[in-house]
A and B are shown apart, each in its own frame.
Chain A
Amino acid sequence: MGQLISAIMNGIATGVPLFLVSSGLTLIYGVMGVLNFAHGALFMIGAYALATLLTGQVTNIGLFLLCAVLAAAVVAAIGMAAERGIFSWLYNAGHMINLLAAYALMLILVGLSILIWGTKIYNVQRPTELAGAVDLGLLSIPVYNLFTIGLGAAVAVGLWLLISKSSYGVKIRAVAYDRTTARALGVRAPLIGMGVFALGGALAGLAGALTAPLISVAPGIDAAYALQSFVIIIIGGLGSIWGALIAALAVGLIQSFLVYYAHDWAAYGMYILVAIVLLFWPQGLFSRSASTAH
């Protein structure tokens, strides 16, 4: 029983950074029509940025959070620069060209990362307050997991408020639905574009910073997270943030369960899931073809 709850908690905690990365990816696709192949690289840069800011030291939670936010801001800036420098020229070029441009961006960002940070492994320490585990008798849950879940929930709520309740969210949804009409109605589409890329970048960077203490920060993590986020947004439905949430949690849980109960198959978890989902819902769980049309 304890192991079951442990697996569940672990799964949810794994799913949160996946959700953060995927939500940014699906937002950018839904609004801008760009399948951002570089999203994994943005995640990685967030992790590297945090590692650089913390310089391997153990800190308190306040400083840790501050540095994580700074790392996210750096990645947000990169996202905006990418939008201005690359994607603003490709608004009308169609999904495929934008996808290829994003792939090129990924290569550039990965190359720059290796240039800046080299190929050695960076280690980031958890802040002291979050280092231990909570002992609940049957099981013990790492405090960091709880922190992650809490942060994830906060971001999810924040995103939801932004997209559905704020006027900015209305503009975002308008551009996602029909860019031309939105512009005719006075929405400043280029600003929305910059904002969405910045937001997507910030989410990916935050995910990278959050995950940094749990992994070895080195070249290659970009590809792994990129891959997972692609599969997640396919499962959830391109353009749907709800879908990204459900799918990310599902993937996290499946992987967690497989690790606990059928270790050899752990890596296949998300592929099995996507195969099953696409069999019954070819457009993903939450796709609304009209509103994600571009």
Chain B
Amino acid sequence: MVSNATESEAPQGAELMRPGRSGLGRLSGNPVLRWIQNLDVPIVVLAVGLAFAFSAGNVQFLVATMAIYALLAMSANMLVGWHGTMTFGHAAFFGVGLYFVALMRESGLNPFLLVAIAGVLGGVVGLLFGLLTIRLSGIGFAMMTLVFGQVLYLLVFTIPALQGDNGIPSVPAGKLFGLNLSLPRNFWWYALIVIGICFLLIKMVYRSSFGRTVLAVRDDALRAAALGVPVRAVRIMLIGLSGFFAAVAGALFVQQQSIASADMIYWLTSGELVLMCLIGGTGYFWGPVLGATLFVWLDSQLFKDISYSSLFVGIIFLAVVLLFRGGIAGLPHQISGWVRRWRSRREAKAVQA
């Protein structure tokens, strides 16, 4: 693979997906399925909301956490899955939202407003980062995301107001329309609505011309450039959007957990995000949601008291990388591929006999 073109402007995430017949972003031919595909976000949000509407407080707390991570993973997948660009610093944008709301804990501002501003901040930081890394690609870019994430991590220790490891405690969730959001039930609906809105926005971007262009750049950046697409500008914009949603997730997270601390944005957390996307399936819109849900469940339920849990996470991850690159969402397609090949081999044998 020695080539003159730079260690490829082309992102290499394309191998992670098997486009085939169920490639990323394909609208079904069947009209009924098509309607479902267009309305999937509201349907899912409503279904999930109703499913847990009357659950116990701690269950709602857990599911809200899953939803927040789902949003975070989704924002990371905008880079990893849509654009094919690996990122190991995404926790930094999460941290922007996290710490912004933590610092504003005494402002008494409307929590929704805080989340929105946090998002904008995350978007701006994303744009800046995109500009800084404009000439980098592939491994170099991935490493710089790592560096960037770590610099922000260090800042949390250096800037006294951010209190490093000790964390900023007692961050109130706030009151919305008179409802106290620190109650799990209220927070659940609040988070669901905010996340639902974000998912609608993400879906909108995904279906837009910009989104399609991003998918094209993932396939072949050089070709896209030869067609007039300003590949670098597109990536910068994408990082900005991705940063926005990650920061929203961070803001919601601190509102739920009431505490912000540095370990939440260590680079290994960013690695976990990539894992979530992969396990769920980077090539499918809902993949990251599946991955995040599974991961949070494993982490908080199954692996809760196991100190060596990373062993199991690593094995799962390895299995996905070696065997199941389409992730959970890609399993149906993968299995149907196996069945097809098994069938044709059987037919070939029958013909020979």
Instruction: Decide if A and B touch, CB cutoff 8 A.
Output: yes
Q: Which residues of A contact B (CB under 8 A)?
A: 29, 35, 86, 89-90, 93-97, 99-101, 103-112, 114-115, 118-119, 177-178, 223, 227, 230-231, 234, 238, 264, 267-268, 271, 274-275, 278, 282-283, 289-290, 292-294
Identify which of residues 293-342 in chain B touch chain A, using a CB-to-CB cut-off of 8 Å. Answer: 307-315, 317-318, 321-322, 325
Q: Which residue of B lies closest to A38 (CB)?
A: B314
In the complex, the answer to whether A105 meets B314 with C-beta atoms within 8 Å is yes
A158 shortest CB reach to chain B, Å: 27
In the complex, the answer to whether B15 meets A119 with C-beta atoms within 8 Å is no
Provided the pairs A96-B16, A114-B307 are in contact, do residues A293 and B1 lie with their beta carbons within 8 angstroms?
yes
- Cα–Cα distance between A94 and B7 once the two chains are bound (Å): 11
In the complex, the answer to whether B140 meets A101 with C-beta atoms within 8 Å is no
B84 shortest CB reach to chain A, Å: 8
Say which one of B38-46, B147-155, B165-173, B245-253 lies at the interface with A: B147-155
Q: Which residue of A lies closest to B325 (CB)?
A: A97
Contacts of B321 in A (CB 8 A): 97, 100-101, 104
Q: What is the number of contacts between chain A and chain B, taking CB atoms within 8 Å?
A: 124
Q: Which residues of B contact A (CB under 8 A)?
A: 1-3, 6-7, 12-13, 15-16, 86, 135-136, 138-140, 142-144, 146-147, 150-151, 154, 157-158, 266-268, 271, 274-275, 278, 307-315, 317-318, 321-322, 325
Contacts of B154 in A (CB 8 A): 267-268, 271
Contacts of B313 in A (CB 8 A): 107, 111
In the complex, the answer to whether B139 meets A289 with C-beta atoms within 8 Å is no
In the complex, the answer to whether A108 meets B140 with C-beta atoms within 8 Å is no
Provided the pairs A111-B314, A231-B147 are in contact, do residues A86 and B136 lie with their beta carbons within 8 angstroms?
no
In the complex, the answer to whether B143 meets A96 with C-beta atoms within 8 Å is no
Contacts of A96 in B (CB 8 A): 12-13, 15-16, 86, 138
Contacts of B86 in A (CB 8 A): 96, 99-100
What are the 5 A-B residue pairs with the smallest beta carbon separation, nearest first? A111-B311, A107-B314, A108-B314, A104-B317, A104-B318
Given contacts A227-B150, A230-B146, A289-B6, 11 further A-B contacts (CB under 8 A): A104-B317, A104-B321, A105-B314, A107-B317, A111-B312, A111-B314, A115-B308, A178-B2, A230-B143, A234-B140, A234-B143
